[in-house]
Amino acid sequence: MKYLSTRGSKELKTSAQAIIKGIAEDKGLFVPESIPKMPEKLAEIINGDKKLNSFGNNSFQNQRVLDSIKYKDVALEVLKVFFTDFTEEELSYCVNGAYDEKFEKEEIVPVVKAGHGYFLELYHGKTAAFKDMALSILPYLLTTAMKKEKEDKKICILTATSGDTGKAALAGFADVPGTEIIVYYPEQGVSQVQERQMVTQEGSNTHVFAIDGNFDDAQTAVKKIFSDPKMNKDLEEIGFKFSSANSINIGRLVPQVAYYVFGYIKLLEQGAIKPGEKINVTVPTGNFGNILAAYYAKEMGLPVDKLICASNENKILTDFINTGTYDRRRDFHLTNSPSMDILISSNLERLLYHLASEKANCDWGKNCNHSDAGKEISALMKSLDEEGKYTVSEKIKQGMKDFIGGYVDVNKTNETIGKMYSEHNYLLDTHTAVGYKVYENYGKETGDTKPTLIASTASPYKFAESVALSIGLSEEANGFDYVRAIHNKTGIAIPKGLQDLENKKILHTGKATPKTMPETVINSLK
């Protein structure tokens, strides 16, 4: 399996090379030349395998087979078909290092039924957000890739964060030999808990800066630094190379495919669905990485019908899905689901590329170089840069017919948290509440009652103030008091990483603007 750029340059990379590079030279994102088929072992389970059925109607046996499937097994099978240049031993090493006791739940990703939904709880890792699912394994993949490619330079990981990626990347890369990690977060755009998580990060290779600007400003500046020849040269002189821990890195995207497959198997195990039965997936969306992973799972053969893309008031994706026009010329809103306060959703480029090239007059990779699709995507991205918008072709629009877009505002988000808690005794964070409400609206409008997995992307404790006020608690002085208040009321365990946060030493106080970011890179590495 080779990787190519969404913007059509002819160079093919191995997955190890693509993971090290992070972003392609022509500024495109790396995509697999084809989306692989579901590995047989998993397909057999998903679709009801003959061998399972040959246990007769003994559902007890089926149950045992299902029960015995661990998250690590699913992750390994999925990684094997995408990262074919890694050996099985290498991938096992990565998977075993990542999905261990760092996670506070033994099953790694529990699936919990509440209200009309099945919540895929992705937030039980070290930093209490779904970003841990990929960022606990990325350092293993990257360092293994460096060994494979005999990379002699050190890697400087530049990361723009809307709040959760930053901490998860810092935690993943802290003191990893051969790497330095620099994180930029929007000073006004993250919760108090999120900010404190980042500025207290230990590790001699960690660097954190508050940016005067929003996430889009930080992400745009980071992408610019990546592709700036002078920056790359300066870095090379001091023995470094850039890579990315954002979801533009394919090494972050692919591990996310695994949990949709795992979630489906959990639904089977719980008896919520029959083998092969179609489900829907709902994802609270920002940079479009998480929902793209669900799309990859669907394309591999996971029985998924609709992909419900939920947004907050920054509803650029809702508008895009409904009209085919992506228009970023609009006001940016700061909401209480800050990880979705994004107007330039990077990973959408990958979906557009897949759809543009899908039914091109050639087979993936073999008989043509996909330069037509690459040209088409380059033109769209240029238009986004220069005019602030683009409109996709009818073919791409048709290709998106299983995507449903919807959004809810802050009031509805808070109301949803309150209602879910009072009616079902289940506590949602603000992002997950956006997802749930959009899903509920979709269900009401269409009458579609298929079982639906809802990506539950953060612990409610990360957005303690909104969550506390939504379940009727009174105002407190700061974010940490809200954490205690929620705990007193609900009894839900506070994630370990958040327990002692208030008393941790603040280690990072750096500030930057999009303009001064290049200097901060060089200074951090000196």
Ligand X SMILES: *Cc1c(COP(=O)(O)O)cnc(C)c1O
Helix axis angle, 59-67 to 250-269, nearest 10°: 150
HEC-encoded secondary structure of 321-343? HHHCEEECCCCCCCCCCHHHCCC
Give the interface segment with ligand X, choosing from 19-27, 92-100, 280-288, 319-327 (CB under 6 A).
280-288
Residues 217-276 interacting with ligand X (rule: CB under 6 A): 247
Please say whether the beta carbons of 374 and 9 come within 8 A.
yes
- Please name the residues in contact with 498: beta carbons below 8 A apart, sequence gap of 6 or more: 128, 193, 197, 459, 461, 462, 483
Residues 161-180 interacting with ligand X (rule: CB under 6 A): 164
Pairing of strands 389-391, 325-327: antiparallel
What is the widest separation between alpha-carbon atoms in the chain? 67
Smallest distance from ligand X to CB 163, Å: 6
DSSP-derived secondary structure letter, 130: T
Catalytic choice (21, 27, 131, 148): 131
AA identity, residue 202: E
Give the interface segment with ligand X, choosing from 28-36, 140-148, 285-293, 403-411 (CB under 6 A).
285-293
Residue 131 annotated among the catalytic residues of the structure:
yes
Q: Which is nearer to ligand X, 200 or 457 (CB)?
A: 457
Please say whether the beta carbons of 222 and 158 come within 8 A.
yes
Q: Does 313 bind ligand X (CB under 6 A)?
A: no
Give the interface segment with ligand X, choosing from 31-39, 88-96, 224-232, 278-286 (CB under 6 A).
278-286
Q: Does 340 bind ligand X (CB under 6 A)?
A: yes
Residues 89-148 interacting with ligand X (rule: CB under 6 A): 129, 131
Copy the structure tokens of residue 95.
């998977």
Among 242, 260, 288, 296, binds ligand X (CB under 6 A): 288
Give the interface segment with ligand X, choosing from 53-61, 134-142, 147-155, 282-290 (CB under 6 A).
282-290
Among 287, 311, 357, 416, binds ligand X (CB under 6 A): 287
- Separation between Cα atoms, residue 395 and residue 100, nearest integer Å: 43
Smallest distance from ligand X to CB 141, Å: 18
Q: Which is nearer to ligand X, 91 or 133 (CB)?
A: 133
- Separation between Cα atoms, residue 347 and residue 359, nearest integer Å: 20
| Residue span 383-422 as binding mask against ligand X, x where in contact by CB under 6 A, dash where not | ----------------------------------------
Closest by Cα among 116, 168, 71 to 459 = 168
Helix, strand, coil share of the chain (percent; to 5): 50, 15, 35
Smallest distance from ligand X to CB 123, Å: 7
Q: Does 459 bind ligand X (CB under 6 A)?
A: no
Among 36, 39, 284, 443, binds ligand X (CB under 6 A): 284
DSSP-derived secondary structure letter, 271: T
Q: Provide the annotated active-site residues.
A: 131
Rule CB under 6 A: which residues touch ligand X? 129, 131, 164, 247, 284-290, 339-340, 431, 457-458
